Amino acid sequence: MCGIVGYVGPQDALDVVLEGLRRLEYRGYDSAGVAVRVGNGASGELASAKKAGKLANLEKVLADQPLPSSTIGIGHTRWATHGGPTDRNAHPHLSADGRVAVIHNGIIENFAALRTECEKRGIEFSSETDTEVVAHLLAAAYDEAPAGVDRFAEAMRAVCRRLEGAFTLVATHADEPDTVVAARRNSPLVVGVGETADGTPEYFLGSDVAAFIAHTREARELGQDQVVEIDRARGLTVTDFSGAPAEPKAYTVDWDAAAAEKGGYDWFMLKEIAEQPRAVADTLLGRLGEHGELVLDEVRLSDQELRDIDKVFVVACGTAYHAGLIAKYAIEHWTRIPVEVEVASEFRYRDPVLDRSTLVVVISQSGETMDTLMALRHAKDQKARVLAICNANGSTIPRESDAVLYTHAGPEVAVASTKGFTTQVVACYLVGLFLAQVRGLKYEDEVAAIVEDLRALPDKVAEVLEQMEPVRALGRSLADANTILFLGRHVAFPVALEGALKLKELAYIHAEGFAAGELKHGPIALIDQGTPVIVVVPSPRSRESVHGKVVSNIQEVRARGARTIVIAEEGDEDVVPYADHVIRVPRTPTLLAPVVTTVPLQVLACEIADTRGYDVDQPRNLAKSVTVE
């Protein structure tokens, strides 16, 4: 959620930090701030600036009142949890003596008790945040820590042992001329390791690798409950909260800074919609072995363990939840294993029945979604097997799962997910096929045939994208609508839900997705003269009765004054007499159709939002990665 950047090296720290914050703007935020350590020798000073609103507001402050040059700095974009989005609640937060600066992502659950403790010591707080508590505790712990090369790290460890909740902390100290320390629990943090053109080492911290990708692709993965100390001379040292040494996992980021630029599009979202053919192709790349068998990324489960599975839960949030609903149709059809799809935030609180024969599939684009992570940990506590579908290599959810399938979608900057969704759907198909293969329900030639159908999807998505100008024009004509309804049956029902979610996220229009068969059970009362109703029609080559019923649903809403917008495959003429607008998609096997039918809904939502004058990439109140419960 919040964006975090830290730097130790020979470059001007403020330039590096601000650049990193710009690359993290997609995460969603409502204020921004920076701090640098200045001065020579062991006793220096901290200089900071922060401002509510967009990063441009902070940059204006810095233009009017520049900070001194420094080679150590930290920066933050905040999404408010404790305290409103004001200047004084923005990060960094300083200790009472001004010697410690802290930035924080997450929530300190026991902050109230800790704040009371600080206030009893005479400390006056200048903000409403839980973060400021850490700054005061860290200053006190530093004064109490024994002198030595890791004094600051020891102070951080002592503080972390007292904190409850989810947090990433990054701090700098006026008395530490070469050091930044950071810690993580249940919240993302990665370290970048690079060097300048003359070979001088430099180190970066970030909420994700986008913060430093312009400087290095070499990253270090921090584990749960670990502290990292970055020192100019000694490099990086990682320990757990008790001080025991830990070895971070090294990995190389496989995309570069250009991948996170708009590439000539007006919005990142438009670029990412256009990247879907390549993203789907990359997700499928290398999935068949030399004998035609399906191959996944990291499966730390034996074939026998997978054969023993008698129940599958798919757990996710938001768009990923809709991908999970589609997964249910495919997995049950191919494996005959019962599947339940659960909202991650509700999963562990209803006490689901789990055991060693249960497979829990967790879906998260970032790999750091807090609700999904907590559901994963609950499943592991109950001895269930966990398989993750994720786009972020090295993130927490894949690390803590028994198996992982990476979507290889590349960086997704826009808050509203597009290529993240379609690649998650494809990954769910692969999981279903893999289970069917391992359990002997699909022969290799059958798996290979379905994979060939999957491999045809990138070209079909590209074909849809080439025909989107009429959809954009339609979007402009719908921009004044107050309500838009979406209908679908079978796998088209989750597509309807996803289309409605995109419209709510981007255009702030009341939008609802319904199973078309539920119309007469209440939702049809919402239809008024001119109400736009978007209907995703299943293939007439699927179960004929379902297709015919949906065509009847179109007639029902049109008879009540609806403006009918129909997404139908090429050659389906049954819908034409009852549709005010028809959006055509290529013929696709029924189970795989959501990958192509979702794309026009993405374009439509983007165009409506743009016409209404809204920020498509950063919708209000939303963040890219939800890392608090």
Look up 390 and say whether it is catalytic: no
Q: Which of 271, 442, 460, 624 is catalytic?
A: 624
- What does the alpha-carbon distance between residue 455 and residue 449 come to, in Å, rounded to a whole number? 10
Look up 2 and say whether it is catalytic: yes
Long-range contacts of 158-165 (CB under 8 A, 24+ apart): 159/134, 160/185, 160/225, 160/227, 160/241, 161/241, 161/242, 162/110, 162/114, 162/137, 163/108, 163/110, 163/114, 163/134, 164/108, 164/109, 164/110, 165/106, 165/107, 165/108, 165/109, 165/110, 165/111
Write the DSSP string, 121-140.
Answer: TTPPP-SS-SHHHHHHHHHH
- What does the alpha-carbon distance between residue 272 and residue 250 come to, in Å, rounded to a whole number? 28
544 Cβ neighbours under 8 A, 6+ residues apart: none
- Tokens of residue 248, six digits: 């971070």
Contact 115, 125 (CB under 8 A): yes
376 Cβ neighbours under 8 A, 6+ residues apart: 315, 360, 362, 386, 388, 397, 400, 401
- What does the alpha-carbon distance between residue 431 and residue 324 come to, in Å, rounded to a whole number? 11
Q: How far is CA 16 from CA 20, 31, 545, in A?
A: 6, 18, 60
Q: Which residues sit opposite 101 in a β-bridge? A: 94, 172
Sequence length of the chain is 629
Which residues does the annotation mark as catalytic? 2, 624
